[in-house]
Structure 1
Amino acid sequence: MASISSFAQADDLLRFDKDLIIDGKVFRSRLMLGTGKYKNMQEAVSSIVTSQASIVTVAVRRLQDTKLHSQRSLIASLPLDSIWLLPNTAGCTTVQEAIRVASLGHEVCQRVGQLHNKFVKLEVISDPQYLLPDPIGTLKAAEYLVNKGYSVLPYMFPDPMLAKQLEEVGCSTIMPLASPIGSGQGLKNMENLQIIINNSSVPVIIDAGIGTSSDAVKAIEMGASAVLVNSAIAQSQNPVAMAKAMQLGVCAGRYAYLAKRMKQSGVALPSSPSTGLVI
């Protein structure tokens, strides 16, 4: 039986782990959640609270001023003292549109009391069929917004060279997709994701394509700083239960990353010694 001290040592891995820090702000959770596709607001809020996520992203274009202060508004129902809003530019197809929506996102944050929140999840997607982010438009918009004082978290195809360019213009994170957005296909670009993680000096957040908790585990195990999940939770048969699974998966992945996996072998190696056998 494992001793109490061994359990304590395991807990110490996370207790003394480095925090997730984005542009100087500390976050306790490495799980971020989206707010779209839920059946109703109650299900969305329950899932977000259960997940213990510290960051929740909201599509600015879907927010209307008439609903912003309503009791039925999702934002108004969230515990904003413990959750950091991440406005996103979802639906924007051009650089100019993304810049304008990012400004509106900052206004939303100010209205709900997060006065110094200039975070923006930058999405520039001009491809309506495959929903792949525009690399050139993303880079141009990112550079402009960084120069205007925004903390830019760019959604991007897992291209290591683009990741490095986005970092060089001052982005606060890199957010490569694991597979097409909303597809639930899991981590289909493992080699490129690993290169991006290895080469980045800013947090790498795996965004899009995660389908279940084992995908989140794998992403964190390979060294990603966090994952952003929406469809995998909202479109599951039990979103609240899946939110809990994601929360546990991120913790499990981080434990494994910190513990460091065993070396792989091409042959079987006995787990019991061959000496001292009873004949």
Structure 2
Amino acid sequence: MTIDKPLTETASLFDLSQKVIVVTGATGILGESFCRSIGEAGGTVVAVGRNEAVGSNRVAELRQSGIEALFAPADVLQQADLDRVCEQTLDTYGRIDGLVNAAGGNVAEAVIGPDADLFSVSLDALRRAFDLNLYGTILPTLTFGRHLVKQGGSVVNISSMAAQSAITRVLGYSMAKAAVDNFTRWMAVESAHRYGDKLRVNAIAPGFFVTNQNRHLLTNPDGSYTARGEAVIRSTPYRRFGQPDELAGALVWLLSDASRFVNGEVICVDGGFHVFSGV
């Protein structure tokens, strides 16, 4: 099936109905929200993830809602997997218009606990954190980007508050996400020099959202906040955690033609966390 709908003069700038968007990390909590947000804006979703059971169920739910979606099992650190997804997407839809690099997360061994020896950091764990978060962003960008520049497209990377300022304990994750920010800006400039306005590369830096990975760090089994969760709330002017669908506006904007002159930006969606001094 080929997506080939002419863009009318009255079409909304935020309409994604002509666009095929690849979403890595689609089997996570934020990834699920990203896929649904893209679909509700009219986009076609190619959901990429390692968990085939979750991914297949997720795509089935999207289709039941009238959203065109395809699940493509893949590990973002395996080039052969990415090449297969790319080929499958082009064979099915004939084009790729956007990429959301949502694959990532923390590596437990790269977290420095309050009682751990600060000078005995596991370098292997740090490398794994970089592989997942940085190279798990770079490899899909290089794989799908060459197709995005053919008709023009957008890459949206997922950064973090940990790249904005020092957040205790999460050393590997923090450094990797800071590198994602740098890659976002570098790729935005370098691609513009080579391809003009054919490729936009931006990032979203979410504030604190409760996911499967951080739930036990931020909340207790009874739903109350842990000490770390309370610290986050105190540092967030909105005094709450974010809801996954609150990332939808920034995501759809960056994928749509409404942001066609936006390049190299890291958009914070954080309830004011990164601008609050604590006073």
Q: Which has the higher helix share?
A: 2
Q: What TM-score results when the alignment is normalised by the length of structure 1?
A: 0.40
Q: What TM-score results when the alignment is normalised by the length of structure 2?
A: 0.40
